[in-house]
Amino acid sequence: MQLPDAELLLKNLVKEIQPDVASKHFALIGIHTGGVWLAERLHQELAITLPLGALDVSFYRDDFDKIGLHSQVKPSEIPFEVEGAHILLVDDVLYTGRTIRAAINELFDYGRPASVSLATLVDRGGRELPIAAQYIGETLKLPTDKMLELRCDDHGKLSLNLYHKSLSE
Amino acid sequence: MINRNPQLDAHGVLQHLLTTEGLPASILLQILDTAESFVGVTERDVKKIPLLRGKSIFNLFFEPSTRTRTTFEIAAKRLSADVFNLNIAVSAQSKGETLLDTVNNLSAMNADMFVVRHAQSGAAHLIAKHVRSEIHVINAGDGSHAHPTQALLDMFTIRRYKHDFHNLRVAIIGDILHSRVARSQIHALTTLGVPEVRVIAPKTLLPKMVERLGVQVYHDMAKGLKDIDVLMMLRLQNERMQGANLPSPEEYFKYYGLTPEKLSLARRDAIVMHPGPMNRGVEIDSAVADGKQSVILPQVTFGIAVRMAVMSILAGNQV
């Protein structure tokens, strides 16, 4: 199937978030790995002044008992005060909602934010938890046996990649 | 049939941490990388994550230890596990219960993990072979054999300050003969690609044929410390010292105690490490222990992150 151009979706997303940036003073947090690439671009294009945060939700996942610890855990880094901040969580693909649940749990161990919003490049439906994104690049309907992920080439250009579930770890 | 490493399952996945000997660099590095993420957790306001919620970890200490037991306890609690400390030196064993009976009883209480410290080399191996496959065992020091988590936290500390293992000269100094720490350090350093590992000690405190471990042997601090990047001091183990291996602590300090003068023979940016507890004025001078090049307290901090990493990797590696 023909996947949309990630760079184009990024432009859509910037337009969606832009009107709220002035009033909310968003602090951006990307979720590893695709969400961090996306957050870096949003941070730049929305000219956010607060430094960029990054979360690796491996320690908060609900499938630890099934699949163990991810072999490449990256440190979470939140270089600003979470207490009282308007947080904009950024992830590349929104699917079951479990990653976002884990991210919110982790976030609250840093403090009590004033609000948490979610931006995603692609919402592919299939939610298993009551979670919704406020800013969406595009909504796609995809077969359940397919995984969608964001890629970033050496020049920082973003693209979407669809692959069969059996090829994931 | 190849005699496989008792720490690994048939697929090479880590099930127990008993020794650094024979573990591939990929597993050592996975532990160090995971520990990096836990350092961040230990610096937050809420120093706890829910990863091992509902798991029961038993600290089985058949030999007295305050520091190691406490760091394992803190690590387990920060992972939200339930921790039970058993000082068996003063409980069931003094009533005659065997080691494996103790383990059987605790397994029947649905233990998920044992952290074992024992004066006998091989005790943790024995328990690992005996327990059901879903139970994981961490060796917290067995006799003069191994102390893998100490060695791993030392590797973590070295990487933090020196960034790369492949261009380092490392010296391990002191009582190599009785030291489980030294053995585990040597295996970890060589596996991680440190090109030159030296041991510096009097002949009486070196095991026979120590060169076979891939180290260079020095008996003289002035020669041994030249061009060294990392000094790993060892504690003089008075309690393991049988007979007259040493003339006196004062004499030992004169020749092998790390003073500012001796430290100045190593590289100017060398770091000084010690697994604790220190004998000040025996193996190390206070001016060095508390000096600028000392990373002894960071070692303690990193030790918690490294033990959290080991516990969570093991708990996640279910068969």
Total structural domains in chain A? 1
Residue B65's pLDDT band (cuts 50, 70, 90): confident
Range(s) of the domain holding residue A53: 6-164
- DSSP for chain B, please give it: -----TTB-TTS-B--B--STT--HHHHHHHHHHHHHHHHHHTSSS---STTTT-EEEEEESS--SHHHHHHHHHHHHTT-EEEEEEGGGTGGGGT--HHHHHHHHHTTT-SEEEEEESSTTHHHHHHHHS-TT-EEEEEEETTTB-HHHHHHHHHHHHHHH--STT-EEEEES--TT-HHHHHHHHHHHHTT-SEEEEE--GGGS-TTGGGGS-EEES-HHHHTTT-SEEEE----GGG--SSS-S-HHHHHHHHSB-HHHHTTS-TT-EEE--S---BTTTB-HHHHTSTTB-HHHHHHHHHHHHHHHHHHHHH---
| CB neighbourhood size of B300 (10 A) | 16
Helix (H) or strand (E) holding A8: helix A6-24
Overall average pLDDT of the B132-152 stretch:
96
Q: Is the pLDDT of residue A127 over 90?
A: yes
pTM of the model: 0.91
| DSSP for residue A51 | P
Q: Determine, yes or no, domain membership for A1.
A: no
Q: Is the pLDDT of residue A152 over 50?
A: yes
Phi, psi of B137 (to 5 degrees): -120, 135
Asked if A37 is an interface residue toward chain B (Cβ–Cβ < 8 A), one would say no
Residue B318's pLDDT band (cuts 50, 70, 90): confident
Q: Is the pLDDT of residue B1 over 50?
A: no
What pLDDT is attached to residue A22? 87
Q: What is the pLDDT of residues A89-124, one digit of tens each?
A: 999 999 999 999 999 999 999 999 999 999 999 999
Q: Determine, yes or no, domain membership for A69.
A: yes
- Cβ–Cβ under 8 Å, residues B23 and B32: no
Chain A residue with CA closest to B45: the answer is A110
CA distance A69 to A71: 6
- Cβ–Cβ under 8 Å, residues B31 and B152: yes
Q: What is the pLDDT of residues A17-53, one digit of tens each?
A: 999 998 999 999 999 999 999 999 999 999 999 999 9
CA distance A165 to A146: 5
Helix (H) or strand (E) holding A34: helix A34-45
Overall average pLDDT of the B42-65 stretch:
92
Q: Do B45 and A59 touch (CB under 8 A)?
A: no
Residue B244's pLDDT band (cuts 50, 70, 90): low
Q: What is the pLDDT of residues B156-179, one digit of tens each?
A: 999 999 999 999 999 999 999 999
Tokens, residue B318 = 């279910």
- Cβ–Cβ under 8 Å, residues A80 and A53: yes
CATH of the domain at A125: 3.40.50.2020
Q: Determine, yes or no, domain membership for A169.
A: no
Asked if A74 is an interface residue toward chain B (Cβ–Cβ < 8 A), one would say yes
Q: Is the pLDDT of residue B3 over 70?
A: no
Q: Is the pLDDT of residue A16 over 80?
A: yes
Amino acid at position B208, single letter: K
Overall average pLDDT of the B281-296 stretch:
97
What pLDDT is attached to residue A169? 46
Mean pLDDT of chain B: 92
Bin A97: left if φ > 0, else alpha if -120 < ψ < 50, else beta. left
Residue B206's pLDDT band (cuts 50, 70, 90): very high
Q: Do A68 and B318 touch (CB under 8 A)?
A: yes
What pLDDT is attached to residue B319? 61
Q: What residues pair up with B199 in beta bridges, in sequence order? A: B172, B217
The rounded percent of chain B whose pLDDT value lies above 70 is 94
B110 contacts: CB under 8 Å, gap ≥ 6: B56
Amino acid at position A24, single letter: K
Q: Is the pLDDT of residue B96 over 70?
A: no
Nearest to B37 among A67, A73, A111 (CB): A73
- Cβ–Cβ under 8 Å, residues B51 and B76: no
CA distance A4 to B191: 46
Of B1 and B150, the structure prediction assigns the larger pLDDT to B150
A98 chain-B contacts, CB cut-off 8 A: none
- Cβ–Cβ under 8 Å, residues B235 and B276: yes
Nearest to A80 by CA among A105, A41, A54, A59: A54
Q: Determine, yes or no, domain membership for A148.
A: yes
Asked if A77 is an interface residue toward chain B (Cβ–Cβ < 8 A), one would say yes
Nearest to B316 among A56, A69, A72 (CB): A69
What pLDDT is attached to residue A2? 86
Min Cα–Cα distance to chain A from B208, Å: 39
Q: Is the pLDDT of residue B276 over 50?
A: yes
What pLDDT is attached to residue A165? 85
Nearest to B37 among A56, A65, A68 (CB): A56
Nearest to B13 by CA among B121, B122, B133: B133
Overall average pLDDT of the B77-84 stretch:
97
Interface predicted TM-score of the whole assembly (ipTM), two decimals: 0.83
Min Cα–Cα distance to chain B from A19, Å: 33
- Cβ–Cβ under 8 Å, residues A168 and A147: yes
Min Cα–Cα distance to chain B from A72, Å: 7
- Cβ–Cβ under 8 Å, residues B171 and B224: yes
- Cβ–Cβ under 8 Å, residues B305 and B42: yes
The helix/strand count (H/E) of chain A reads as 4, 7
CA distance A42 to A50: 12
What pLDDT is attached to residue B239? 66
Q: Is the pLDDT of residue B294 over 50?
A: yes
Q: In what order do the strands lie in the sheet with A115-123?
A: A53-55, A27-31, A86-94, A115-123, A135-139
CA distance B1 to B6: 14
Nearest to B54 by CA among B20, B82, B31, B92: B82
Coil, strand or helix at A104: helix
Overall average pLDDT of the B114-126 stretch:
95
What pLDDT is attached to residue A70? 87
Q: Is the pLDDT of residue B281 over 80?
A: yes
